[in-house]
Amino acid sequence: MQLLALSGSLRKESFNTKLLHAAGECLPEDVRFVFADCAGVPLYNSDIDKEIKPEPVAKILQAIVDCDGILIATPEYNYSIPGVLKNTIDWVSRPAYKSVLVGKPTGILSAAKGPVGGAQSQGHLRQVFSATLTPVVPSPPFFLPMAQDKFGEDGRLIDDAVRHRLDRYLKDFIAWVTLLSGRG
Ligand SMILES: Cc1cc2nc3c(=O)[nH]c(=O)nc-3n(C[C@H](O)[C@H](O)[C@H](O)COP(=O)(O)O)c2cc1C
């Protein structure tokens, strides 16, 4: 199985990117974890959305085709998802109802500095994925509140309770991706 990791933050010290790296450490050996990069994706403009895509977009499109599931970690910006993530989703959402996102099993994590852990951004992201016909894993959501207290100087997760919850989420996610991809 191959999972595509996508962070909604471009920040070098992003808690969401660190959370994805922590997720990568929880995976079984037979699951490959590949990172996609939203950096460099131009602002969506249908004038430049031609058959030949800008290179950063073409790379993400191919990575989505190649993966069995997508794992996103998103920050919350003003109670929603960052423009960077929405812009990338808009690019890969065309043509409508026939895009690479249709039917692609997806998991959503969020990390935020606040006490709610990005819950509102997850609601908005789910709504976006209802437009792209992208199924989101039907398991209890994973939020990481007070993310600034959860990672060590080396960027690794230092909270065992969070790691336990993350591990649980990933087990559910992998079992569900297995089911949907007919691998089980
Ligand atoms: C423009 C902006 C808006 C933000 N809005 C929220 C918000 O609505 N809720 C929240 O919990 N944190 C909010 N934050 C704080 C983020 O949780 C914090 O910056 C977090 O570190 C972003 O994730 P990252 O570390 O992966 O970049 C906001 C930050 C920025 C820069």
* CATH (domain of 121): 3.40.50.360
- The whole-model pTM stands at 0.97
From atom 24 of ligand 1, which residue's Cα is the shortest distance away?
Answer: 14
- Asked whether 77 lines ligand 1 (CB < 6 A), one says yes
- 29 C-alpha vs ligand 1 centroid, how far in Å? 33
Please tell me the total count of domains within the chain: 1
What is the DSSP pairing of strand 106-111 with strand 142-144?
A: parallel
Domain of 44?
2-180
Q: Which of 16, 40, 127, 136 is nearest to 91 (CA)?
A: 40
Q: What is the pLDDT along the chain (184 residues), one digit of tens a residue?
A: 999 999 999 999 999 999 999 999 999 999 999 999 999 999 999 999 999 999 999 999 999 999 999 999 999 999 999 999 999 999 999 999 999 999 999 999 999 999 999 999 999 999 999 999 999 999 999 999 999 999 999 999 999 999 999 999 999 999 999 999 886 6
- Asked whether 91 lines ligand 1 (CB < 6 A), one says no
From atom 28 of ligand 1, which residue's Cα is the shortest distance away?
Answer: 77
For residue 171, count CB atoms less than 10 angstroms from its CB and return exposed for 0-12, middle for 13-18, buried for 19 or more. middle
